[in-house]
Amino acid sequence: MANKAVKVGLLGLGTVGGGVARLLMEKRAELSAYLGVDLQLARAVDLEPARAEELGLAPGVFSSDSWSILEDGDIDIVVETVGGLEPARAMVLTALNKGKGVVTANKALLASHGVEIFQTARQQGVGIAFEASVGGGIPLVRSLRDSLAANRVTSCLGILNGTCNFILSRMTAEGAPFDQVLAQAQEKGYAEADPTFDVEGTDTAHKLAIVASLVTGAQPRLDDIPTEGITKITPLDIQFAGEFGFKIKLLAVLNNQGGKVEARVHPALVPHDHLLASVEGPFNALHVNGDWVGQVLLYGQGAGRRPTASAVVGDVLELARDVAAGVPGRVPPLGTQASGGRRLDLAPLDDARCQYYCRFAALDQPGVLASVARELGSFNISIEKVTQKGRQEAGPVPIVMLTHEAREADLRGALKKIDALPEIVEPTVVIRMA
């Protein structure tokens, strides 16, 4: 059954696809020696022939027709770097149905259509690998899928969006507001012209959906993941958080304890001495707790042509090794043979418990603190720390509290009452604590 060559078809020659093409060409000899079979970039498809020229593809490799890959019986592995939902979904499903292994970096696709895609891969007995879909070059998908497979992963905290982390790092370093730093990030290429997808947390939610599926063997619905972005984070809150010994980071949070699974995306206060607080700029990291392994942190570059291509080609090597050994469907998509494309039901956010940072905008008059504390107390929320800054010249004064652990629904109930108090003049700012 052993093949003499493994042929790769590459769909898309954009930032990631172009990097994959370059890596496969530059290192063909080393990668083939690693595998013990010739690893060939047999065909690459893009709508812009100029990209193929720039990459110096060998004659006959480039095509503008994706069917030249999908219908070629000689191509063993399809790399999808087209991005987006369609036509990527149709291409991936077609490739799998034609018996080809698939490598994809497409987190939106897997987060939205993972059940269908993973079921198809299993039915066809072929491999699908997606290391690059979460955390760029960081070897976290395979670590969760295989190396840590003896564990029940009880929790994960991830910094999984480089744009948001860059913006929050700069806001912290410079005390500058979100809009100003976003503009800087756009100039430097760390943020898209339309940054919504990143700064509203959607991209992080996609990645969290994939992490959750690796941890549980079942797929959450994207809509079930409560998602808050970083657009409302202010220099004032970053400063108060810092005074309490915390940094503000956009986190993907997964809790998998006591039979309930919680998954959510939101900014959070991270203690200065937590390793995630040291993850700065465009870097990503996933902090994992396993019932046997304890704490593990996996850190690296979460995006960019070269790190992402490293992960994609690492996946190509895995699938190619299995193709060469005659066992193309050796590993189920999520590692476990028990996964049947199940849906994962998430616990409602109302039942989540954590500590909270609350900033109240209060009139500078006696008794406000007591009123706020009374309302919190009536919802069984106790206060761990409080700071009230000296009188302002005019306008409201900020009262900042860190609560003890409380139930989300209780906090929301208390805040509704508090924000209705006559002494509270702006909606209270709430940020969860990690």
Query: Considering only 187-195, 311-319, 359-367, 374-382, which stretch makes contact with its own copies by CB under 8 A?
Result: 311-319
List of residues 6+ apart from 110 with CB closer than 8 A: 104, 117, 130, 133, 206, 209, 210
Contact 256, 152 (CB under 8 A): yes
Assess 183 for contact with its own copies (CB under 8 A): no
CB-nearer residue toward its own copies: 293 or 386: 293
Tokens of 224: 């079930």
Residue 160 annotated as binding? no
Contact 7, 42 (CB under 8 A): yes
Instruction: Please give the radius of gyration of the chain, using alpha carbons only, rounded to the nearest integer.
Output: 24
Assess 309 for contact with its own copies (CB under 8 A): yes
Catalytic residue among 7, 27, 98, 207: 207
Assess 76 for contact with its own copies (CB under 8 A): no
Contact 265, 349 (CB under 8 A): no
Smallest distance, its own copies to C-beta of residue 125, A: 11
C-alpha pair distances (Å), 306 with each of 22, 132, 208, 352: 10, 11, 23, 38
Which residue in the set 13, 16, 44, 317 belongs to the binding site for its own copies (CB under 8 A)? 317
List of residues 6+ apart from 83 with CB closer than 8 A: 12, 14, 105, 106, 108
Assess 296 for contact with its own copies (CB under 8 A): yes
Size of the site for its own copies (CB under 8 A): 59
CB-nearer residue toward its own copies: 83 or 139: 139
List of residues 6+ apart from 98 with CB closer than 8 A: 70, 71, 73
Contacting its own copies within 375-434 (CB under 8 A): none
Residue 13 annotated as binding? yes
If we measure between CA atoms, which residue out of 1, 308, 27, 256 comes closest to residue 151?
256
Tokens of 370: 């007591």
Q: Is 43 in a helix, a strand, or coil?
A: strand
Smallest distance, its own copies to C-beta of residue 187, A: 22
Which residue in the set 47, 90, 150, 173 belongs to the binding site for its own copies (CB under 8 A)? 150
27 is catalytic: no
Assess 149 for contact with its own copies (CB under 8 A): yes
Pseudo-torsion of CA 230, 284, 145, 206, nearest 10°?
Answer: 30
Assess 216 for contact with its own copies (CB under 8 A): no
Assess 175 for contact with its own copies (CB under 8 A): no
Which residue in the set 313, 368, 414, 434 belongs to the binding site for its own copies (CB under 8 A)? 313
Assess 307 for contact with its own copies (CB under 8 A): yes
Residues assigned a catalytic role: 207
Residues that bind its own copies (CB under 8 A): 19, 23, 27, 30-31, 33-36, 131, 137-139, 142-143, 146-152, 275, 278, 283, 285, 290, 292-301, 304, 306-307, 309-311, 313-314, 316-318, 321-322, 325-327, 330-331, 335-338
